[in-house]
Chain A
Amino acid sequence: MDYKVERLLVSPTPHIHSVLTTRMIMLDVIIAMCPALIASVIIFGLRALLVVAVTVAACVGFEYLWNRIMHQPQTIGDLSAIITGMLLAFNMPVDIPLYMPIIGSLAAIIMTKALFGGLGHNFANPAIVGRIVLAVSFPAYMASVVVPKAFQACDAISAATPLAVIDEEIPFMDLFLGTHGGMVGETCSLALLIGFGWLLYTHIIEATIPLIFVGVVAVMSLLCGHNPINEIFSGGLLLGAIFMATDYTTSPFNRKGKIIFAIGCGLITAVIRFWGNMNEGVSYSILLMNLLVPFINEKTRRKPVGGVKR
């Protein structure tokens, strides 16, 4: 066998790498969101798919344009813009005018991510910022919640989100399967939990943040005299806890930090839900804790084994 010395590659150690790549991680997250996407189409009809498609297209488009205009290497191949788009769409009512997702995508991709240096440098979860920008800009649309038409006598109507319904109790199975009013991707708890299972199975995330986040909200609702089942399975808690609070860039590195982060998320959610008058508890709690992540990372850094300060 012939060989040429000048063709030998020299590179730093190690010479083998795990098969996991950034794109594979993102793809697994997308797969984990697919059950919720399918559920949303079943529950809300094909317009849910349209909303998701428009948002994803807008997110990917903005990232593509930004990289083109700023002469940056093209990064849409890492698939993270698709995740942002899907998450953002999951946080919108199904009857939203289609220009709104585009505005939300602009806020998410350009304002939150690209301006701060792209993937890995965003200060908060882009989808959360997108949702909050829309909620602040168009409160009437974002607060009204579409009750799925398949389960109503008349066509899609707007009603209050279950969290706002104080007297009326929604049956648990409706809450669990998502056949009640809400945003596109957040109503079907079953689908979200299937996605959670996939993320755990593929070791993309640890269970720490979702479990503690939801647990703290449940404990707080018991303490404050609310129905914990209703608090957990309605509103955006599961979507936020599973897919948004676990975002790598905006959650702490190690378990100690993750525990603090999740407790903070849970407490702020409970405070906003029980004593505030907004219905964006989960979004704001994650946003506020996102901002604290660099600080949490600094304070919870693992002490090297045998490390002594000098």
Chain B
Amino acid sequence: MFERFRTFISEAGVIVPQHKDTAMLPTEKLPLPKEIILPMSQHVGAPCVPCVAKGDHVDVGTMVGKAPTAVSMHIYSSVSGTVKAVEPLYQNAKGVTVVRVEPDGEQTVDPSIKPPVVTDYQSFIDALTISGIVGLGGAGFPTDIKVSPGNLPEIETILINGAECEPYLTTDNREFLEHPDTILAGINAIFKYLGVPKCIICIEENKPQAIALMKEKTKDDDRISVCELESRYPQGAETIMIRNATGKIVERGKLPASVGCIVVNVTTVSSIGKFLQTGMPLVSKRLTVAGDAIKNPKNLEVPIGTKIEDILEYCGLSKEPRKILLGGPMMGGAQVDITFPIIRQNNGLLAFGEEAAKVPRTTRCVRCGRCVNSCPLGLSPVDIRRAYMTYDAPKLNNLMADMCIGCGCCSYVCPAKLPLSQTASLAKAYLRSKGGK
């Protein structure tokens, strides 16, 4: 009886302010910057090995970083020009090798670029392996690995993630409105070469134009359906999206493929479509540049590797930025330096002024239970916090702290402004260090 109640009262997730003012602004192209920095780690997995040296000439689409293992992804130059340096850079406390390229302004395309010849499953995966495409929603997981799970014949549904539940970000919305045909080309390639029978395009209801357009475009194809999801953060989280769009529940520690689903971001699918048509690997990325310190918020297409300061200069600042985020305000990382480059899984650049950047003062937990009731996975952040404070690994295991997806709902709703999401992430790391559970 109580199980019924539990689903009935599910208040999972939070309704966050949208701030999607840039939703209807067409994508602009950033003028070529003076320098491009290409970090060798722009994905989940092993960092790439630089395959150019100082003084080399590169074209648009020339490989500059080679993937050393399967779980990795090649990195290509986004400009034509000269390699100025191959050197280490410390970005957000992580050391990474970067290739610095000075553009020559010609933007000549690498002569080896031609549309890939794709005839079957294997050639499709091989094509993705050289496409430079990773999960563009923010995760950065290599797409060739993602779409070739071990149990491929059991995959029934491919979910196109166009939820874009983060406030401010509107790049997926622009992808729907500006490139619906390459999205469909990508989906059709997946149908054809992976043999997946069904596709659900998941869009949050706050993007009515995108929903209408995709419904119109897919009305003749009964394999594709458009699923309108409630605008409730974190609707775009993989497991949450699968639960809300198909009703299937991904078990603790399992991948979406275990329930016959693959979730692919809409920009990723669109990039697959573009790559199959042109053979040009992923070299540019659309960003939503917004936040209260930005004078002219924009949807901006930038060459991968553009420095944050170049984008800020182009869009203008209305006040002193005190916090710069790559990604949305719920999960995006605060940057320590504006000379850092944009990498391919970034989808937003937000700059906030004094007031919005302020970290709220914490008070004491009153045990109101808002964090417990808002957790989309039904975890107990307040108890996880308490167990983490005493390094109680068995308790953390019982509380299933390892399931936390770091969405930040608990920290968002907490009236005491406690960093619950942070302690849950720390607890997750601690639990992993205590036996990999």
Chains A and B bind each other: yes
Which A residues form the contact surface with B (CB < 8 A)?
Answer: 1-5, 7-18, 20-25, 75, 78, 80, 118-121, 248-249, 252-256, 301-310
Known contacts A14-B329, A17-B360, A22-B364, A7 near B322 by CB under 8 Å? yes
Residues of B within 8 A of A249 (CB): 366-367
Q: A8, A11, A21, A310: which has the most chain B beta carbons within 10 Å?
A: A8
Total residues of chain B contacting the partner, CB 8 A: 77
Contact B416 A22 (CB under 8 A): yes
B contact residues around A256 at 8 Å (CB): 2, 5-6
Please tell me if the beta carbons of A306 and B14 are within 8 angstroms of each other in the complex: no
Are the CB atoms of A15 and B352 closer together than 8 Å?
A: yes
Closest to B249 in A: A306
How long is the Cα–Cα vector from A145 to B17 in the complex, in angstroms?
A: 51
By beta carbon, the residue of chain A nearest B16 is A16
The 24 listed contacts between A and B (C-beta, < 8 Å) are A1-B320, A8-B323, A9-B334, A9-B358, A10-B336, A13-B330, A14-B412, A16-B356, A17-B360, A20-B413, A21-B363, A22-B363, A22-B416, A80-B366, A119-B364, A253-B367, A253-B372, A254-B373, A256-B2, A301-B380, A302-B380, A306-B252, A307-B403, A310-B252
State whether A308 and B329 are in contact (beta carbons under 8 Å apart), knowing that A8-B322, A22-B415 are contacts in the complex.
no
The DSSP consensus for interface residues of chain A is loop
Taking a contact as CB atoms closer than 8 A, the residue among B329, B373, B400 that contacts A253 in the complex is: B373
* Among A2, A15, A302, contact of B323 (Cβ-Cβ < 8 Å): A15
Chain B binding surface SS class: loop
Residues of A with C-beta under 8 A to B336: 5, 8, 10
Distance between Cα atoms of A33 and B159 in the complex (Å): 50
Q: How far is the CB of A124 from chain B (nearest CB, A)?
A: 13
Residue B335 lies at the interface, judged by CB distance under 8 Å to chain A = yes
CA distance A261 to B239 in the complex (A): 33
CB contacts under 8 Å to A, within B351-390, are: 352, 356-360, 363-369, 372-373, 375-380, 382-383
Shortest beta-carbon distance, B389 to chain A, in Å?
A: 13
User: 15 more A-B contacts (CB under 8 A) besides A18-B415, A22-B415, A310-B252?
Assistant: A1-B319, A3-B320, A3-B321, A13-B411, A14-B408, A14-B411, A14-B412, A15-B323, A21-B417, A25-B368, A302-B372, A307-B377, A308-B252, A309-B398, A310-B437
User: Assuming the A-B contacts A14-B329, A21-B417, are A248 and B323 also in contact, with contact meaning beta carbons closer than 8 angstroms in the complex?
Assistant: no
Binding site for A on B (CB under 8 A): 2, 5-6, 9, 12, 14, 16-17, 167, 239, 243, 249-252, 254, 316-325, 329-338, 352, 356-360, 363-369, 372-373, 375-380, 382-383, 397-398, 400, 403, 406, 408, 411-417, 419, 421-422, 425, 437
Assess whether B422 is in contact with A119, with CB atoms less than 8 Å apart: no
Q: Which has the most chain B C-beta neighbours within 10 Å: A15, A25, A78, A248?
A: A15
CA distance A12 to B422 in the complex (A): 6
* B417:A16 contact, CB within 8 angstroms: no
Chain B residues near A5 (CB, 8 Å)? Answer: 336-338
Contacts of B324 in A (CB 8 A): 8
Q: How far is the CA of A93 from the CA of B200 in the complex (A)?
A: 65
Query: Once the chains bind, are B367 and A15 in contact (CB under 8 Å)?
Result: no
Q: Which residue of B lies closest to A75 (CB)?
A: B364
Per the bound structure, the CA–CA distance linking A304 and B244 in Å amounts to: 16
Q: State the CA gap A255–B10 with chains docked (Å).
A: 10
Write out the residue numbers on chain B whose beta carbons fall within 8 Å of the beta carbon of A307.
Answer: 251-252, 377-378, 400, 403
Most buried by A among B243, B324, B338, B366: B366
Residue of B nearest to A1 (CB): B317
Chain A residues, CB < 8 A from B338: 3, 5, 8
Q: Which residues of chain B have C-beta atoms less than 8 A from A22's C-beta?
A: 363-364, 366, 415-416
Cβ B334 vs Cβ A15 within 8 A: yes
A16 vs B18: C-alpha distance in the bound complex, in angstroms?
A: 11
Q: Is the CB of A254 within 8 A of B372?
A: yes
B380, A255: Cβ atoms closer than 8 Å = no
A305 touches B357 (CB 8 A): no
Assuming the A-B contacts A3-B338, A15-B332, A22-B363, are A255 and B325 also in contact, with contact meaning beta carbons closer than 8 angstroms in the complex? no
A212 to chain B, nearest CB (A): 13
Q: How far is the CB of A295 from chain B (nearest CB, A)?
A: 14
Shortest distance from the beta carbon of B432 to any chain A beta carbon, whole Å:
14
Given A255-B5, A307-B252, is A17 in contact with B417 using a C-beta cutoff of 8 Å?
yes
State which of B320, B329, B378, B419 has its C-beta within 8 Å of the C-beta of A305: B378
Q: State how many angstroms separate the Cβ of B233 from the closest Cβ of chain A.
A: 9
Give every chain B residue within 8 A of A309 (Cβ-Cβ). 398
B321 and A8 within 8 A (CB) = yes
Q: By the criterion CB–CB under 8 Å, are A248 and B417 in contact?
A: no
Assuming A8-B336, A16-B167, A306-B239, is B320 touching A118 (CB within 8 A)?
A: no
The interface residues of chain A lying within 8 Å CB-to-CB of B6 are 256, 302-303
Name the distance in Å between A3's Cβ and chain B's nearest Cβ: 5
Contacts A10-B334, A22-B415: A248 and B366 contacting too (C-beta < 8 A)? Answer: yes
Q: How far is the CB of A14 from chain B (nearest CB, A)?
A: 4
For B367, the chain A residues whose CB sits under 8 A away are: 120, 248-249, 253
5 A-B pairs closest in CB distance: A253-B369, A14-B408, A1-B317, A12-B422, A248-B368
Which residues of the partner chain B approach A301 to less than 8 Å between Cβ atoms? Answer: 380, 383
Q: How far is the CA of A306 from the CA of B402 in the complex (A)?
A: 12
Instruction: Choose among A14, A255, A305, A310 the residue that contacts B249 (Cβ–Cβ < 8 A).
Output: A305
Q: Are A120 and B323 in contact (CB under 8 A)?
A: no
CA A305 to CA B244, docked complex, whole Å: 12
